[in-house]
Structure 1
Amino acid sequence: MSELTGRNQPSADEPVTHHGPPGGGAGRVLLAAAIVLLLVAVAGGTTWWMYTREPAPTTNTATTVKPSTPPACPGVKLRVAAAPEIAPIVRAAAKRLDDSPADPCDLITVVAEEPGNTVAAAAKPDVWIPSSSAWLNIANAGGAAFAAQGKPMAYSPIMLAAPTAVTDSLSKAGRTSWAQLTGAVAAGRIVSVTMPDARTSTVGLLSVHGVNAAMARTTPDSGIAQLRALTLRSRLKEASADPAKVIAKIAEQWNTNGVVYDVGVFPVVEQQLKAYQRGKHTVQLKGAYPADGLVQADYPFAVAKNNQDVELTAQLRAAITRSSLVQAGFRPAPMPDALPLPAQPGDLLTPATMWSEYKSLATQVLLLIDASGSMNQKIEAPGGRSLTRAALLRESGRFAADLFSEDTTVGMWYFGQPTPTSPAHREIVPYGPITEQVDGSKTRRDALVKAMDTYRAAENSGTPLYQTVLDGVAEMREKVAPGTVTLVVVLTDGEDGESTFKMTQQQFMAKLAGEQDPSRPVPIIAVGYGPDVDMKALNDMSAATGGKAFPATNPADLSSAIAKAFLAAHAPR
């Protein structure tokens, strides 16, 4: 802990005795004036700290002589806000200063609150000890003025905690991963997962950062990574659960009625988990560090620019000793493999806001796959490969099938006209829930993968693109319902022609516009394959429906397009 200069400066691990405000008795405010100030404070006491002060303890010993008239106190001189888990240590240090026999006044008040609440409050403390230095940047970006004094006072990595049997199923040698947790939740192997509010809690904010960093390791596409992160978000039992209250509920419910609280996995700082483990609880909790996105809380001692009592602040800083923090379960040094935090507040807040305001919407998708002869034309793919558009689309489909969440309802059509009497399109995978069994024991997701593996474009087949899009939009419009996002996804080279259903783009756009219903929107996501794809036609049809068009030059482009469409649908409004 860095040394600080100040009056009567103690050593780093010794309690501090505070001797009152500068000037001693001669410098105190006159009694009458103090009473007036006290009455004013009581009458107008709307400031946050006056409602949170603890009463000063009274001491009755043989050596204590109470004056007949109590001395006047100048009131609180130092207002401190601290993260809930470190607040007891800070309060104990403040109490030692306030309980000095030489000064009966309570000069320090300590409020325990989550950092996001401190940021949002109009009145800011003189000293702030949040659970992450990231909050200082966030607060200062909003107009506050806090400066950290020296290095953080303590550290505590964030762990994934659960009853022992659950943790053991997810971890090895005390390590697990966000990706493993997400997979287990998606497969139904985990009962539930809860997380704190990412906008107010450090555990929530940093956990979201860890999840996104972990998913970024699985793909170079940022949209796909975000969508994979939201897979976990979409399956949370609760997205604003306080870990301390979760822990308390586990212990309380077991002790009162013998029923184990239905807890699956939840993130928590190591210090809080250690505190629980030291207790004698029937339900044993165990934690593991997510190796693919390890994040940690740190506890800076930050001072407001308008702090008026530098000496008292220095005494408080010194009174919070390293030994008291270690004894409480905090680490004196950071874990070396923890993720660095972004310097820009927005890089943390943007994904946190998306996470917190995520709208749980069932997704309805109709896939329209171009099976016409033009899809057999060869193109040059990244890496110098030469392959047909159909082959590129086939690889794309394998990627995309994994993106659909468990609450997706989906169907697939092929479109193409090999003979003049052929229909414009045919159903390949019947529309229904993606988890539902089709073709015997296979799920609809498996059927999609199989259909894409066996997909081939027919030679000399016309391309009834426009008619298929009109039919697909009309089909899905009947399925639009509140709480759903309904999409038509078109995979094509973008040219309508050589079929009995051929029409001009002007005719098509007029029909598409005439069938729009603002109360039942069906956006078109169009993905175009090939260097000569008619992106104007695809952009026009997508824009007319509130969708978007994307060119595809590699297999991941389809997944990226679907990810972006889903993210837009679930984004905060």
Structure 2
Amino acid sequence: MCMAPDHTDAPEGDASDVRTVRQYMPAALLAIISVALVTAIVFVVGAIVTNRPEAAADDAAAAAGCLPSDLRITADPAVAEALESILRKPAGGSGDCAGVTVTAEPSATTAVALGKGERPDFDIWVPDSGMWPAYVAGVAESTGSEAPELVVGDTIASTPIVLVAPEALASSLSGENAAFATLAKQQSFAALLPDPATVASSSAALLALQTAVGGDARTFTGLVLSLARSVPSTEDALNEVAGSSTSAVAVTTEQAMSRYADAQGDHTPLSAIYPTDVKASLGMPLVTVADSSPTTLEAVDTIAEAVSEDDGRLAKFGLRDAAGHSEDADLAPVAPTDSTNQYEVLSTWRVLTAPSRMLALNDVSGSMSKPAAGEMTRMDLFEQAAVRAIHSLSTESSLAVWVFSSRRIGGQDWQEVVPFGPLGDPAHKKLSLDTANNLHSYVGGGTGLYDSVLAAVSYMRETYVPGEVNLVLLNTDGYNEDDEGLTLDELLTELEKIHDPAKPVPVIAIGYGPDTDQDALEKIAAATEGAAYQALKPTDISTVLVDAVAQRGCRPYCS
């Protein structure tokens, strides 16, 4: 049955108005209900998200002054333990930040991986020196890799460079003798340098040594090649000094010495010496990649603040604060070393200590038998100098010996008397020394200079060994006397043709006595980016030859 609409409750007015209100009432209610429903969903979802265990943990961590649980921190072992201890319970926080984990990895390992193009597996990196980011760029350049752009932030900790010696030697190295300059002058003890390519304290020490000698390139080069013997690690250096039967000094850090002393207990036979002339120290910075997230950048600030407000835990791990202050009032503050210069001196060291592949081209013309000093001939003096020069070369180097005079073998002016071999091979080193002592037996004929130089340089170019310092060491006392061979202009033209900047073969030429064609030697050296020396007095021969060998790695940029 159909019932008529009830108009009892209808408002006054036109019937059409009443119909309109009744018709659209359901749509309005639907809209209101929809808004309420959406609001409820958002509220419920938000509550679910907020109540996730991870979110709740992060909120609690933030409230306690902790870092996000998923933040990745990689730090050098020198600072990793101290950093983790501080971040697990920061001084300004109110709880235990159990989620903080710091991965310990040697700075050199991280730097090499980044330099070879590997993606960073950290959000924040704390190396033991600000040098390492520059090292990353250097590795990338040499390998042609694309390394991440790194941003070096605040330094959070430091440790000064010290010299470590047995107590008896340490007591004599006091006052003015407690200095890097002493290392440059000393003759009575050996200095052990942990490998600068992997140990930052050594590159900082090299910079201090360079500063101590006034930045003089020649003095510094000789010092690097003759003074410091490199050992693989800091531990090796300290152990060797502690057990050395001869006087020796190890270059390391205050922290490394402190840890060594702690391990030895009351039986530590070593003492730390704080250099008085050049203050050097490692600064440990916070490093991030250039496109780090806001969360990471906030974490950097949090870490810097937590360490600066630390309650002494840096000192418990043998470290000083960022400015180099120690809790020991008797120890003066030492500011961190300039990391840019530290990397530059490391680069210099690597060039200077690169294995040499040297061809010694020795003049044995008749004039070498002329008297030089007393009853000694030019050749006698040269033989003595040659022996010293061989001893100055590292065991990683290789050496060949040629002699030259006019028409030694038919129309050929040069002769190989010792083929290339490693000086680390006792038999080859003995053969080289025996030959140096017996060069007088080859003396005779004129000076077949130009053809011999071209032959030697050509041979070195054809047999070039990458990664080594390939060079010709030319020793002569006269002028070219081979009228049937090359002229000087022809020689220089040929040297220019075979020159390759990517594979340099410098000629280091030494002229002995007043009869030398020094102008020709200088032109030959210039054409090969080498150097020319002259020993005018007999007493100069030994000094000049050894100096020339010492300068082999920095040519043509030695001062």
Q: Could you state the TM-score of these two structures normalised by the residue count of structure 1? A: 0.52
Unmatched runs of 5 consecutive residues or more in structure 2: 1-42, 139-148, 241-247, 320-325
Q: Identify which of 474, 485, 492 aligns with 2:476.
A: 492
Task: Say whether 1:332 aligns with 2:319.
Answer: no
Q: CA-atom RMSD, angstroms?
A: 6.8
Specify whether residues 138 and 217 from structure 1 end up closer, same or farther in structure 2 by C-alpha distance, changes over 3 A only: closer
Relative contact order, CA 8 A, sep 6+: which one is greater?
Answer: 1
In the other structure, the counterpart of 1:565 is 552
In the other structure, the counterpart of 1:205 is 203
In the other structure, the counterpart of 2:357 is 363
- One-letter amino acid of the structure 2 residue matched with residue 490 of structure 1: L
Superposed, 1:261-340 pairs within 5 Å as: 268-279=252-263, 286=270, 289=273, 297-299=281-283, 307-308=297-298, 316-322=306-312, 324-330=313-319, 331-332=326-327
- One-letter amino acid of the structure 1 residue matched with residue 394 of structure 2: S
* Distance in 1, Cα, partners of 2:74 & 2:484: 70
Q: Identify which of 473, 487, 502 aligns with 1:504.
A: 487
- One-letter amino acid of the structure 2 residue matched with residue 205 of structure 1: S
- One-letter amino acid of the structure 2 residue matched with residue 367 of structure 1: L
1:528–1:551 contact (8 Å) kept in structure 2 = yes
* Distance in 1, Cα, partners of 2:446 & 2:62: 91
Task: Say whether 1:155 aligns with 2:159.
Answer: yes
1:131–1:299 contact (8 Å) kept in structure 2 = yes
Per the TM alignment, residue 465 of structure 1 is displaced from its structure 2 partner at its CA by 1.8
* Distance in 1, Cα, partners of 2:382 & 2:47: 81
* Distance in 1, Cα, partners of 2:262 & 2:367: 70
Percent pairwise identity: 19
Q: Which secondary structure state, in structure 1, belongs to the residue aligned with residue 532 of structure 2?
A: strand
Structure 1, residues 123-143: CA drift from partner, whole Å, max 9, x if none?
A: 9867x8654466799899976
Per the TM alignment, residue 350 of structure 1 is displaced from its structure 2 partner at its CA by 2.8
Specify whether residues 274 and 339 from structure 1 end up closer, same or farther in structure 2 by C-alpha distance, changes over 3 A only: closer
Q: Which secondary structure state, in structure 1, belongs to the residue aligned with residue 222 of structure 2?
A: helix
Per the TM alignment, residue 207 of structure 1 is displaced from its structure 2 partner at its CA by 4.5
Per the TM alignment, residue 272 of structure 1 is displaced from its structure 2 partner at its CA by 3.7
Structure 1, residues 416-436: CA drift from partner, whole Å, max 9, x if none?
A: 79xxx9996799999977688
Which structure would you say has the larger Rg? 2
In the other structure, the counterpart of 1:548 is 530
2:195–2:202 contact (8 Å) kept in structure 1 = yes
* Distance in 1, Cα, partners of 2:455 & 2:49: 80
Q: Which secondary structure state, in structure 1, belongs to the residue aligned with residue 475 of structure 2?
A: strand
Task: Say whether 1:144 aligns with 2:151.
Answer: yes
2:91–2:310 contact (8 Å) kept in structure 1 = no
Specify whether residues 279 and 347 from structure 1 end up closer, same or farther in structure 2 by C-alpha distance, changes over 3 A only: closer
1:224–1:559 contact (8 Å) kept in structure 2 = no
Superposed, 1:219-298 pairs within 5 Å as: 220-228=218-226, 232-233=229-230, 236=231, 238=232, 241=233, 243=234, 268-279=252-263, 286=270, 289=273, 297-298=281-282
Per the TM alignment, residue 209 of structure 1 is displaced from its structure 2 partner at its CA by 3.6
Specify whether residues 464 and 563 from structure 1 end up closer, same or farther in structure 2 by C-alpha distance, changes over 3 A only: same
Per the TM alignment, residue 157 of structure 1 is displaced from its structure 2 partner at its CA by 3.5
Structure 1, residues 207-239: CA drift from partner, whole Å, max 9, x if none?
A: 54457668989984444344446x735xx4x4x
2:91–2:311 contact (8 Å) kept in structure 1 = no
* Distance in 1, Cα, partners of 2:498 & 2:280: 53
- One-letter amino acid of the structure 2 residue matched with residue 316 of structure 1: A
Structure 1, residues 105-140: CA drift from partner, whole Å, max 9, x if none?
A: 7696655455564895869867x8654466799899
Q: Which secondary structure state, in structure 2, belongs to the residue aligned with residue 495 of structure 1?
A: coil
In the other structure, the counterpart of 1:404 is 393
Unmatched runs of 5 consecutive residues or more in structure 1: 1-29, 43-54, 57-69, 161-166, 251-263, 379-387
* Distance in 2, Cα, partners of 1:180 & 1:408: 29
- One-letter amino acid of the structure 1 residue matched with residue 89 of structure 2: R
Per the TM alignment, residue 496 of structure 1 is displaced from its structure 2 partner at its CA by 1.7
In the other structure, the counterpart of 2:142 is none
In the other structure, the counterpart of 1:92 is 85
Specify whether residues 310 and 369 from structure 1 end up closer, same or farther in structure 2 by C-alpha distance, changes over 3 A only: closer
Specify whether residues 283 and 409 from structure 1 end up closer, same or farther in structure 2 by C-alpha distance, changes over 3 A only: farther
- One-letter amino acid of the structure 2 residue matched with residue 404 of structure 1: L
- One-letter amino acid of the structure 2 residue matched with residue 224 of structure 1: G
In the other structure, the counterpart of 1:195 is 195
2:167–2:271 contact (8 Å) kept in structure 1 = no
In the other structure, the counterpart of 1:527 is 510
Per the TM alignment, residue 85 of structure 1 is displaced from its structure 2 partner at its CA by 2.8
* Distance in 1, Cα, partners of 2:535 & 2:421: 30
Specify whether residues 31 and 391 from structure 1 end up closer, same or farther in structure 2 by C-alpha distance, changes over 3 A only: farther
